[in-house]
Homo-oligomer: A and B are copies of this chain.
Amino acid sequence: MEIRKAKSYGFCFGVKRAIKIAEELKNATTIGPLIHNNEEINRLKRDFNVNTINSFEELGSVKKAIIRTHGIEKQNLEKLKQSDIELVDATCPYVTSPQKIVESMSNDGYQIVIFGDEKHPEVKGVRSYSTTTPIVVGSVEELKYKKIKRKVAVVAQTTKKVSEFQKVIDYLTPISREVRVFNTICNATFENQDAVRELSSEADVMIIIGGKNSSNTKELYNISKTNCLSSYHIENEKELDKKWFLNKNLCGISAGASTPDWIINSVISKIKEICV
């Protein structure tokens, strides 16, 4: 069986940057996981003493804090800045961008529409920058139950599919006087998505590696399974099952933007081992 990696996969710019910050700073604490990959979080804890807490209440005697790639709510960031804690902001610049847009557009009187998962930390952070009540929708269907003002500004969660974003815009165009569309979907996401689309249409079995809580990995998996029924989303090599590879000729590999190369390599080694 041939094993082939997608033309583009894995770590994006924002994740690489955040890990570098955490490794250099050492002994710091992040509120919520730095990136959506448990394995990498464990490695940072083990090798660089980067700790993860779940809420602000747990900050206690923390001296150095890192803001995670997904960003945090504006009011919490301001509180942290006013505290004695040494603060390094590892918010991905592609997430800072929709935060700024939402702040400025809501100040200018535009109805804010955020296309994203309202429970995702990135979206929670972005929406907190709106000075008016924003509309957050995960699909165009949800938008149909919302009252929309005549002037709308729209941003997307960085990991959303552009085709779904277009549906949101298509819905808003005829019912609004002005729609300001800010394409805040990350290019790295596009590239990984395009590459998985291509590879999954050729492969017999697809292994998509990444955190189960990682939106962009889930999107890769969704794209993959539309082309290749034998698609599997795993976090690490322990989840691999020999049966998946029986009578297969081509195994495709892709990984989310927060999946480190060392995990991808472990998975590939393990596949080679069990397929002997």
Interface set of A (CB-CB < 8 Å, partner B)? 162, 165-166, 169-170, 173-174, 176-183, 185, 190
Q: Is the CB of A166 within 8 A of B162?
A: no
Inter-chain contacts of A179 with B (CB < 8 A): 180-181, 183
Q: Is the CB of B183 within 8 A of A177?
A: yes
Inter-chain contacts of A169 with B (CB < 8 A): 166, 169-170, 173, 181
Closest to A180 in B: B180
Inter-chain contacts of A173 with B (CB < 8 A): 162, 165-166, 169, 181, 183
Residue of A162, A165, A169, A181 most packed against chain B (CB within 10 A)? A181
Inter-chain contacts of A170 with B (CB < 8 A): 166, 169-170
| This chain: copies in complex | 2
Inter-chain contacts of A182 with B (CB < 8 A): 177-178
What are 28 A-B pairs with beta-carbon distances under 8 A? A162-B173, A162-B174, A165-B173, A166-B169, A166-B170, A166-B173, A166-B174, A169-B169, A169-B170, A169-B173, A169-B181, A170-B170, A173-B181, A173-B183, A174-B183, A174-B185, A174-B190, A176-B181, A177-B182, A177-B183, A178-B180, A178-B181, A178-B182, A179-B180, A179-B181, A180-B180, A180-B181, A181-B181
Contact of A183 among B162, B165, B166, B178 (CB under 8 A): B178
Q: Give the complex CA separation of A180 and B177 in angstroms.
A: 10
Contact of A176 among B165, B166, B176, B183 (CB under 8 A): B183
Q: How far is the CB of A66 from chain B (nearest CB, A)?
A: 28
Inter-chain contacts of A176 with B (CB < 8 A): 181, 183
Q: Give the complex CA separation of A166 and B169 in angstroms.
A: 8
Q: Give the complex CA separation of A162 and B177 in angstroms.
A: 13
Q: How far is the CB of A76 from chain B (nearest CB, A)?
A: 28
Q: How far is the CB of A174 from chain B (nearest CB, A)?
A: 5
Q: How far is the CB of A20 from chain B (nearest CB, A)?
A: 26
Q: Give the complex CA separation of A176 and B178 in angstroms.
A: 17
Q: Give the complex CA separation of A179 and B177 in angstroms.
A: 14
Q: How far is the CB of A117 from chain B (nearest CB, A)?
A: 20
Inter-chain pairs besides A162-B173, A174-B185, 17 sampled, C-beta below 8 Å: A166-B169, A166-B170, A169-B169, A169-B170, A169-B181, A170-B170, A173-B181, A173-B183, A174-B183, A174-B190, A176-B181, A178-B180, A178-B181, A179-B180, A179-B181, A180-B180, A180-B181
Q: Give the complex CA separation of A174 and B182 in angstroms.
A: 10
Residue of A162, A177, A183, A185 most packed against chain B (CB within 10 A)? A183
Q: Give the complex CA separation of A181 and B177 in angstroms.
A: 8
Q: Give the complex CA separation of A182 and B162 in angstroms.
A: 21
